[in-house]
């Protein structure tokens, strides 16, 4: 008893707690109820997805876009660094005595550097404060090179090194400002490291050796040996660092799967092997083993054999990095698209379920109405299929049972009409429209497509001219009287053949207060007519061959009804289906051909 009281109190408490919600929901239609519930679900989902997209995907889109800008800035600075390194080498060549061949190239390269710095000035204004200060240092160091008076080789070399060092640091700071240093993907980070650290520093060390070696070849042996030895050691260290980066990169699955990265690896391997040969050559310069190499030849060989492949590898790395960044942007765009699509899909799903619930009822009722109207028009209802298991489905199941029974009866009727060559029709007396079974169109050789709204005029189609007026009068009189007595007529088809038809109709009212209609049939009785005609002919022949036949006692000819005498076989063939073959019996052969008979008879006896 106490347990029952506790349950009763619990139910009352639950009812009391949900009373406001029940009060609200009971006063709403189903459409409004689901709109209210969907709002409570869809608004938090939409807000959560918006925050996810805004704080995560958009962040990485901005991050990647900034990296793309950084690659463009770094590439611009890399060309400036290349020009500064070339200017350093040409300056050392000039001081080594190669003035005539390099004077013009030195002037043009200085102009290229000035033009490049002027074009980068607007871009530098968009960078962080530290990078702006570094750009000023680049500017000032280059200005110091241009404005300095006559300098020694060592002073020129060191002044250019300051410009190259500032540009190298500027590349790294620009990469940091544009998030390149923070790239999250191993494959793209490997390329970033090549572009902003390994390759620029490698080119600078090789460029220093190019400048020092060119100058050393043009002056007395032993000049700047310490600088050359230091440069060789630094270059070897840089090559070892590059080799270490390649070893690390080769462990990455992305590196092994990417054909472009494999090409870069091959290029870097070629650079390493050439650099080792190059360092041996520079070491020979230190030890006065120049093998007759001129400063200009050494400079051009250093450029074409070492530096240009490094620049080529840099360009390949840049292209591959941009491709990877573009692929990441597309991936982020797809993620953003999928995220928004998921949000919209969830919201649409809520509305879809709402609409589905609402339409499941409305459409079921509508389909029942359509099927009943079709049944009233064609006598063949549509089978309705529902996936629901509610009360409406029970109604539809009972309706479908009736529809199946009607379809079965309709199929039996069609088969019966086809076998009996009987077509049925039903005429609406109020509208004049008529529904015909398929066999009616088959009998009249009419196309249902060309006669979508048949009337009683269909029964007059192709009627034999001799029967046309009779058929028209019978139909009009029967339609007025509400009854068409059975009558027969002929039908001329398009190929000229004749069909015999019989037609009958009677009026009926199928529902109290409903409109009157006339139902009838048309039957193809051509075969029956042919059978009757054949029967009459057969009876006529039987009558002619029965009874007393006048036959000649001498020649055995028979006299016909018109008084003419003809051979008995011709008479029988003409009045029956019998046929004759002529021969001679032994008596006639003996009488007509005695010699032949005696000879043939003797031969038979001998045998």
pLDDT number for residue 606: 56
* 329 pLDDT higher than 50: yes
pLDDT number for residue 305: 80
As a whole number of Å, the end-to-end CA separation of the chain is 130
pLDDT number for residue 378: 62
pLDDT number for residue 222: 44
Contact (CB, 8 A) for 424 and 409? no
pLDDT band at residue 385 using 50, 70 and 90 as cut-offs = low
Q: Which residue has the higher pLDDT, 542 or 143?
A: 143
pLDDT number for residue 391: 64
Q: Among 353-362, 431-440, 471-480, 492-501, name the one with the lowest average pLDDT.
A: 353-362
Q: How far are the Cα atoms of 2, 427, 460, 479 from residue 457, in angstroms, in the given order?
A: 85, 11, 5, 12
State the burial class of residue 199 (Cβ atoms within 10 Å of its Cβ: 0-12, 13-18, 19+).
buried
For residues 366 and 384, give the distance between their C-alpha atoms in angstroms, rounded to a whole number.
Answer: 11
Mean pLDDT of 265-282: 68
Q: Look up tokens 């009287």; give the residue.
A: 481
Q: Among 65-74, 244-253, 459-468, name the one with the lowest average pLDDT.
A: 244-253
* 29 pLDDT higher than 70: no
Q: Look up tokens 């076989």; give the residue.
A: 569
* pTM of the model as a whole: 0.53
* 140 pLDDT higher than 90: yes
| DSSP collapsed to 3 states, 30-73 | HHHHHHHHHHHHHHHHHHHHHHHHHHHHHHHHHHHHHHHHHHHH
Mean pLDDT of 295-306: 80
**pLDDT tens by residue, 88-124:** 889 888 888 888 888 898 899 999 999 999 999 998 8
For residues 598 and 601, give the distance between their C-alpha atoms in angstroms, rounded to a whole number.
Answer: 5
pLDDT number for residue 534: 77
pLDDT number for residue 163: 93
DSSP 480-497: HHTEEEEEEEEEE-TTS-
3-state DSSP assignment of residue 424: strand
Contact (CB, 8 A) for 229 and 235? no
Q: Which residue has the higher pLDDT, 69 or 512?
A: 69
* 421 pLDDT higher than 80: yes
pLDDT band at residue 453 using 50, 70 and 90 as cut-offs = low
Exposure string of 15-24, with b = 16+ CB inside 10 Å and e = fewer, is eeeeeeeeee
Q: Which residue has the higher pLDDT, 288 or 426?
A: 426
* pLDDT > 70 in the chain, percent: 70
Q: Which residue has the higher pLDDT, 561 or 482?
A: 482
State the burial class of residue 439 (Cβ atoms within 10 Å of its Cβ: 0-12, 13-18, 19+).
buried
pLDDT number for residue 171: 92
Q: Which residue has the higher pLDDT, 541 or 481?
A: 481
Most confident of 25-39, 110-124, 327-341, 572-586: 110-124
pLDDT number for residue 1: 53
**pLDDT tens by residue, 219-230:** 644 445 666 667
* 451 pLDDT higher than 70: no
pLDDT band at residue 292 using 50, 70 and 90 as cut-offs = low
For residues 566 and 558, give the distance between their C-alpha atoms in angstroms, rounded to a whole number.
Answer: 6
Q: Which domains does the chain have, with CATH numbers?
A: 2-51+344-355 (no CATH), 52-343 (no CATH), 421-534 (3.30.450.20), 548-606 (no CATH)
Mean pLDDT of 283-299: 69
**pLDDT tens by residue, 154-191:** 888 889 999 999 999 999 999 888 888 888 887 788 88
pLDDT number for residue 118: 94
Mean pLDDT for the chain overall: 77
Which backbone phi and psi does 583 adopt, to 5 degrees? Answer: -155, -175
Q: Among 26-30, 400-404, 430-434, name the one with the lowest average pLDDT.
A: 26-30
3-state DSSP assignment of residue 578: coil
pLDDT number for residue 348: 75
**pLDDT tens by residue, 337-361:** 777 777 777 777 766 766 666 666 6
The residues with which 551 forms a beta bridge, in sequence order, are: 558
**pLDDT tens by residue, 471-483:** 888 878 887 777 8
Contact (CB, 8 A) for 91 and 198? no
pLDDT band at residue 26 using 50, 70 and 90 as cut-offs = low
State the burial class of residue 525 (Cβ atoms within 10 Å of its Cβ: 0-12, 13-18, 19+).
middle
pLDDT number for residue 162: 93
């Amino acid at each position: 008893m106490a347990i029952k009281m506790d349950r009763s109190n619990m139910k009352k408490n639950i009812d009391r707690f949900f009373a406001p919600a029940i009060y609200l929901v009971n006063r709403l239609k189903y459409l409004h109820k689901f709109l209210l519930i969907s709002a409570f679900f869809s608004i938090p989902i939409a807000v959560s997805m918006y925050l996810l997209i805004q704080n995560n995907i958009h962040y990485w889109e901005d991050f990647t876009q900034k990296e793309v800008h950084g690659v463009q800035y770094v590439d611009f600075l890399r060309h400036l660094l290349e020009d500064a390194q070339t200017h350093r080498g040409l300056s050392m060549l000039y001081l080594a005595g190669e003035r005539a061949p390099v004077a013009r190239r030195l002037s043009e390269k200085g102009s290229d550097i000035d033009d490049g710095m002027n074009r980068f000035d607007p871009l530098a204004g968009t960078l962080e404060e530290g990078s702006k200060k570094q750009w000023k240092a680049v500017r000032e160091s280059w200005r110091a090179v241009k404005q300095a008076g006559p300098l020694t080789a060592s002073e020129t070399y060191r002044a250019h090194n300051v410009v190259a060092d500032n540009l190298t640091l500027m590349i790294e700071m620009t990469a940091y400002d544009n998030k390149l240093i923070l790239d999250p993907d191993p494959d793209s980070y490997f390329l970033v490291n090549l572009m902003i650290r390994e390759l620029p520093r490698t080119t600078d060390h090789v460029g220093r050796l190019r400048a020092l070696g060119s100058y050393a070849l043009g002056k007395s042996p032993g000049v700047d040996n310490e600088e050359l030895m230091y440069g060789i050691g630094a270059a070897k260290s840089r090559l070892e660092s590059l080799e270490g980066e390649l070893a690390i990169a080769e462990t990455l699955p992305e590196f092994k799967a990417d054909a472009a990265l494999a090409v870069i690896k091959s290029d870097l391997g070629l650079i390493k092997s050439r650099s080792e040969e190059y360092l041996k050559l520079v070491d020979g310069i230190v030890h006065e083993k120049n093998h007759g190499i001129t400063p200009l030849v050494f400079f051009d060989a250093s450029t074409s054999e070492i530096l240009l492949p490094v620049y080529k590898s840099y360009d390949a790395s840049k292209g591959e990095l941009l491709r990877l960044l573009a692929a990441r942007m597309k991936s982020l765009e797809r993620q953003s698209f999928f995220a928004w699509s998921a949000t919209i899909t969830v919201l649409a799903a809520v509305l879809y379920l709402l609409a589905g619930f609402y339409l499941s009822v409305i459409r079921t009722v509508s389909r029942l109405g359509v099927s009943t109207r079709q049944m009233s028009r064609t006598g063949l209802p549509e089978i309705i299929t529902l996936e629901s298991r509610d009360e409406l489905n029970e109604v539809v199941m009972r309706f479908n049972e009736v529809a199946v029974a009607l379809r079965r009866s309709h199929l039996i009727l069609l088969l019966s009409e086809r076998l009996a060559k009987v077509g049925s029709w039903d005429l609406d007396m109020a509208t004049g429209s008529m529904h015909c079974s398929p066999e009616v169109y088959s009998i009249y050789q009419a196309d249902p497509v060309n006669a979508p709204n048949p009337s009683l005029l269909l029964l007059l189609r192709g009627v034999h001219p001799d029967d046309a007026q009779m058929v028209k009068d019978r139909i009009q009189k029967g339609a007025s009287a509400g009854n068409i007595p059975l009558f027969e007529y002929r039908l001329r088809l398009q190929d000229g053949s004749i069909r015999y038809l019989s037609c009958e109709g009677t009026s009926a009212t199928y529902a109290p207060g409903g409109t009157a209609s006339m139902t009838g049939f048309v039957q193809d009785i051509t075969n029956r007519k042919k059978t009757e005609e054949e029967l009459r002919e057969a009876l006529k022949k039987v009558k002619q061959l029965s009874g007393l036949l006048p036959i000649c006692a001498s020649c055995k000819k028979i006299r016909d009804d018109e008084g003419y005498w003809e051979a008995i076989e011709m008479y029988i063939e003409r009045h029956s289906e019998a046929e004759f073959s002529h021969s001679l019996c032994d008596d006639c052969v003996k009488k007509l051909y005695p010699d032949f008979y005696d000879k043939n008879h003797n031969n038979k006896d001998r045998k």
